[in-house]
Amino acid sequence: MGVRENELEELKKCVERVISNCTLETCVAAMVRINIQRTKYKQIVCCFQFPDEYPKYPILTELKSHHISQKLLDGLVKICDEEAKKRLGKPQILQIIKLVSNFIDENPLCCCSEEITNIRKTWIEGSDELKLRQKTSSLLLKVNEGSYFIKYSIFIPENYPEKQVGIEAKESNFPAVFQRWFTAQSVEIARRCIEPPLKKKPKDPPFVLKPSMEPVVSFLIKEAHAFPRQTCKVCGEKAFPEDARNIHHDESSPKHVERILCGHIYHNACLDKYIKTPPFQGGKKCHTCGQQIFHEKWKITQKLAEERWAHKQAKQRELDEVVDFLS
């Protein structure tokens, strides 16, 4: 038997035993095909073709995967080719299979490589940072906007994307209420990726589970950039102070930043003045998006606002009369 035939026999005997979660799909002289699958998303098919005069020449390796990015696979093929060249004259396939198998185990973030590429291409701006931590299967995200920043650790679980990403707020200099909102929203976005809605409308398409990393990370990047750029539409100034050290943490301070339900922001005093000043007809609407303003602090009806306004005007008239009388 030649080297090639011996190698094929050897693969049939031992590859599925030596490499965990792998299947020998084809094993003939024209082609060897082995599927390594840890989870649905951590999966690579390795295809090998023997060149003429193998093993004097390196085996030809091709890698395929449904969920691992082509860029990553191309890089891995180069490493496989290097390995084959080190083993000229000897059987090469099992060694390469071991290498690919180890790669999957040592790089748990490979299951979201497409998402990582997308985030870098579409979302990351200027001095934002996205660092990969393969050892802990996590990503470290830092978003910078002017003097403001948020820092999050995003954990990718073993059976991702069936299980949602873990979200941990590390550090931030946004007002506390905004920090809490960033985290709570992120958790909710991740949950919606893997759980069907509680109240399903009849016309909704069937629920399809989707990876939660990119929705969460893109949300954090987008919002952390957007808030410090927004102006308060009542006074026309930036809602957040230019320097994050000057944030008004006291919620009753006039310049404290209030976020209303639609997501737009106002200074506390500006919003208060706007809500309590006529016209009240049809309720108060957001300057930016036209949606009804809703905020826990200002739960007043149109009728109550009108009454309060009338009362305030009456008081003012009384005061004016006194001033007139005295002058």
Positions that interact with Zn ion (CB under 5 A) = 232, 234-235, 262, 264, 267, 270, 286, 288-289
Residue closer to Zn ion by CB (options 88, 261) is 261
Q: What is the rounded CA–CA span in Å between residue 39 and residue 113?
A: 15
Report in angstroms how near the CB of residue 239 gets to Zn ion at its nearest: 7
Report in angstroms how near the CB of residue 278 gets to Zn ion at its nearest: 19
User: Coil, helix or strand for 313?
Assistant: helix
Report in angstroms how near the CB of residue 285 gets to Zn ion at its nearest: 8
Report in angstroms how near the CB of residue 232 gets to Zn ion at its nearest: 3
Report in angstroms how near the CB of residue 262 gets to Zn ion at its nearest: 3
Q: What is the rounded CA–CA span in Å between residue 145 and residue 228?
A: 7
Q: 118 — phi, psi (to 5°)? A: -60, -45
- Residue 194: CB atoms within 10 A of its CB come to 17
Report in angstroms how near the CB of residue 258 gets to Zn ion at its nearest: 10
Residue entry with tokens 């036209």 = 290
Q: What is the rounded CA–CA span in Å between residue 173 and residue 20?
A: 46
Identify how many contiguous H helices and E strands the chain contains and give both numbers: 8, 10
Residue closer to Zn ion by CB (options 112, 260) is 260
Residue closer to Zn ion by CB (options 104, 257) is 257
Amino acid residing at 245: R
Residue closer to Zn ion by CB (options 144, 230) is 230
Q: What is the rounded CA–CA span in Å between residue 272 and residue 211?
A: 41
Residue closer to Zn ion by CB (options 157, 263) is 263
Beta strands across the sheet bearing 166-172 = 129-133, 138-145, 148-155, 166-172
Amino acid residing at 206: P
Residue closer to Zn ion by CB (options 216, 271) is 271
E strand or H helix at 31: strand 31-37
Residue closer to Zn ion by CB (options 256, 267) is 267
Report in angstroms how near the CB of residue 38 gets to Zn ion at its nearest: 45
CA 179 to chain CA centroid, nearest Å:
16
Report in angstroms how near the CB of residue 113 gets to Zn ion at its nearest: 37
Amino acid residing at 294: F
Report in angstroms how near the CB of residue 248 gets to Zn ion at its nearest: 12
Tell me the H-state helices in the chain. 3-18, 70-86, 93-106, 113-122, 176-194, 213-229, 268-275, 302-326
Q: What is the rounded CA–CA span in Å between residue 299 and residue 24?
A: 66
- Look up residue 70 and give its two tokens: 């082509």
Residue 44, phi-psi category: left (phi > 0), alpha (psi -120 to 50), beta (remainder): beta
Residue closer to Zn ion by CB (options 144, 288) is 288
Residue closer to Zn ion by CB (options 244, 262) is 262
